Chains A and B, each alone.
Chain A
């Protein structure tokens, strides 16, 4: 299909879609007036009922915890998928480790980037841990903090070479950390079952509102998800770098 035909097909389809979209938007509440029943109830009951101050996290890891379990396993499956797609093929072997670009030489990393990258790494990792640990109090949580943690590791690569990363972890350790994070979520859910309640029911002591140790199972689930997302993202990063920088096709 030529570009022109494709564009023509797109314009026709987009016109039909625009009609449907306008029709759908017509049924939406006026901007700034929506008051969902569930949101209203949760905003008033989450703090007294669960001793949690971040209601978004309460929805994710408590009231809708089972859905988030599925979401966590979507991520888990995607990491598995990427490592399978990017595995060493039968005609590939580890070659000389070097960044490379087509048709040009890769400039050496400047000292400014090195200093900034290494200087930013510890605060980034600390911030990631903070975001994970305070997910039930302020905006944040396992998903967000896990991504920040992985960014800290990415900074080490940006500031140096792939080799600099190899001392930090081994791939089996990352895989184990990811699996433990995913499994811990289920284990915390099973505590509810074991105590005669429902799966993922918030049965742990709730603590005092606004304290670090509060909100029952939400904080441990945040830790589990943070571990899984952090380890999973570093694993993704390492897999991509290994496939593009280390593996070479053998003739």
Chain B
């Protein structure tokens, strides 16, 4: 299945976006956004993958050994950090929304 990783990335994005669109709870909405974002990790890592190649860590393998692309892996790390900060900020806003309005429904009660 050559296209499976790309299909998984597309599915994660779509299902996360559907959650954001239809959610009736801010926490659920924020987690849905994280799911949508996790599709980019899958996409980046599958783009960089190479069959029969090892991880780009040469602590115990010779440098002549074929390794997968380290650049997209570094990008995924950036992606994870940005995702975590977005989640933290959104959760902070959700806490204040709940304190002010007593509701987590994005449409209000």
Give chain A's interface residues, CB within 8 Å of chain B.
3, 6-7, 9-10, 14, 17-18, 21, 25, 28-36, 38-40, 42-44, 46-48, 53-56, 58-60, 64, 67-68, 71, 74-75, 77-79, 81-82, 85-86, 137-139, 143, 210, 236, 239-240, 243-244, 249
Contact = CB atoms under 8 A, between A and B. Distances in A.
Given A10-B17, A10-B18, A10-B22, 16 more contacts: A10-B21, A25-B6, A25-B10, A31-B4, A31-B5, A31-B6, A34-B48, A39-B56, A39-B69, A54-B57, A55-B70, A71-B82, A74-B85, A137-B59, A143-B81, A249-B99
Contacts of A6: 21-22
Nearest to B107: A1
B5 to A, nearest CB: 6
Contact of B70 (A21, A33, A43): A43
Contacts of B71: 36, 38-39, 42, 59
Contacts of A35: 50, 69
9 tightest Cβ-Cβ pairs between the two chains A and B: A39-B69, A78-B85, A32-B51, A59-B74, A55-B56, A55-B70, A53-B59, A85-B92, A82-B92
A138 B78 contact: no
A85 B77 contact: no
Interface string B59-91: 100010001111111100110111011101101
Contacts of A40: 69
Given A10-B21, A31-B2, A31-B3, A56 B77 contact: yes
